[in-house]
Structure 1
């Protein structure tokens, strides 16, 4: 089972779109996929038409004091989605209180990793959507994953956010036995905007060994797919954004084989 986390310490860079798009393509190829929403905003949860304010069972249950992470706890959290090949562990807005409640509790950074070990034979891929804040939830995502995907909006303010994320990766790697590898995914690219073109050029110059095989363009059909609650590839396999994620997924597959 491969575990990918999608993270950046800047919001609005396309994390949820990246997670859902890649999960959809994997499911289209016959892979069994689990999506995990660790963002208190619950964007991925809302994408699949679950209400983060109303759910009785969510990923928040993994963090309750005294809770033993076992299948009895985990099974009710595995929710179906519009795609038969994708399950979801949803988020609730209660996650926003977790930082305060987790102070002084040991082992809180490994709860998701413990849960995923229980379903390693059920799924081929896990894709984790992380909050844009370094805290216990992002630490859980980074501790659980084997490879990190970092969407980076092709504008210069996003480069500043990327620098913070790279410092976090360095910090995490000091504590990990195995180095956390990562791939940068340029998003919201518009070749008619000089600043977007310039930003992409800088990403390639500075991070040539870690940049994805393609760039994700601005594509309004992502919004349409979200409104329908279906993965972008289910709606239109030919849309430019989906074609970009196909190339990115192909590059990730080549990286894992290499």
Structure 2
């Protein structure tokens, strides 16, 4: 299984859209995909018409249930989506209380890694949707993943969030004593606005080789797909947004190949 975390310490940058669209495109290729919602807001779960306020089984239970090492229990948590080979590990709003409840407990940064180990051979990819704050959920996501994708809105204020995220990543890599490849993805790009164009130029100046060369454009079809609970390619396979994410997926594939032959 390949595990990708989609993360940024700023909200509203397109993390959930990126998880859903990339996951759907991987599913379209025939891969077995597990989407994991680690955000107490439950945007990914809500995308697929689940209610994070009323879920009986969710990521929250995996942090406390003694059976979390049991494949049968994880099977109760995983839900289907509109694609046969793409499944969802949903979030509950109770995740918001997790930080306080697990404070001081050992091993809580590896709960997700242990959970994914139970289904390692059943999926080709796991894509993790993360909360916009550094805490135990973000630590779990960074500890479990092999590739980090950092969606960043092309507006000036988003650059600060990106700076914090890169700082956090470097801090985590030092503590874990390992390199974690990351790719910054400009999102919500509108070439008609000076703010988008200027911010993209600034991102290219600062981050150069760590930046995806093609930004994800503003595309109302992505929003339409969200309202319908569909993967964007199911609604319109050749929309601007889907084409941009397909290009991003090819870029990530190339990064993996380079790492494997490095």
Q: TM-score, normalised by structure 2?
A: 0.96
Map 1:184-223; keep pairs closer than 5 Å: 184-223=184-223
Q: Distance in 2 between matches of 1:48 and 1:159?
A: 30
Q: Is the 8 A contact 1:213 1:247 kept in 2?
A: no
Q: Distance in 2 between matches of 1:194 and 1:157?
A: 14
Query: Match for residue 40 of structure 1?
Result: 40
How far does residue 27 in structure 1 lie from its aligned partner after superposition? 0.3
Q: Distance in 1 between matches of 2:122 and 2:151?
A: 27
Root mean square deviation, CA, Å: 1.0
Secondary structure of the corresponding residue to residue 171 of structure 1 = helix
Q: Is the 8 A contact 1:214 1:245 kept in 2?
A: no
Aligned residues: 258
Query: Match for residue 247 of structure 1?
Result: 247
Query: Match for residue 138 of structure 2?
Result: 138
Q: Is the 8 A contact 1:213 1:251 kept in 2?
A: no
Query: Match for residue 183 of structure 2?
Result: 183
Q: Is the 8 A contact 2:68 2:115 kept in 1?
A: no
Map 1:68-217; keep pairs closer than 5 Å: 68-217=68-217
Q: Distance in 2 between matches of 1:178 and 1:117?
A: 20
Q: Distance in 2 between matches of 1:214 and 1:196?
A: 13
Q: Is the 8 A contact 1:69 1:111 kept in 2?
A: no
Q: Distance in 1 between matches of 2:127 and 2:41?
A: 17
How far does residue 73 in structure 1 lie from its aligned partner after superposition? 2.4
Moved more, 207-216 or 126-135: 207-216
Q: Distance in 2 between matches of 1:177 and 1:80?
A: 36
Secondary structure of the corresponding residue to residue 10 of structure 1 = coil
Query: Match for residue 25 of structure 2?
Result: 25
Q: Distance in 1 between matches of 2:8 and 2:122?
A: 28
Q: Is the 8 A contact 2:68 2:74 kept in 1?
A: no
Higher fraction of helix = 2
Q: 1:25/1:65 Cα in 2 relative to 1: closer, same or farther (>3 Å)?
A: closer
Q: 1:233/1:65 Cα in 2 relative to 1: closer, same or farther (>3 Å)?
A: closer
Query: Match for residue 11 of structure 2?
Result: 11
Secondary structure of the corresponding residue to residue 183 of structure 2 = strand
Q: TM-score, normalised by structure 1?
A: 0.98
How far does residue 238 in structure 1 lie from its aligned partner after superposition? 1.0
> Gapped runs of 5+ residues in structure 1?
none
How far does residue 212 in structure 1 lie from its aligned partner after superposition? 1.4
Q: 1:68/1:51 Cα in 2 relative to 1: closer, same or farther (>3 Å)?
A: closer
How far does residue 118 in structure 1 lie from its aligned partner after superposition? 1.4
How far does residue 2 in structure 1 lie from its aligned partner after superposition? 0.5
Secondary structure of the corresponding residue to residue 214 of structure 2 = coil
How far does residue 65 in structure 1 lie from its aligned partner after superposition? 6.3
Secondary structure of the corresponding residue to residue 197 of structure 2 = helix
Q: Distance in 1 between matches of 2:65 and 2:18?
A: 32
Q: Is the 8 A contact 2:153 2:187 kept in 1?
A: yes
Which ranges of 4 or more aligned residues in structure 1 deviate by more than 3 Å?
65-68
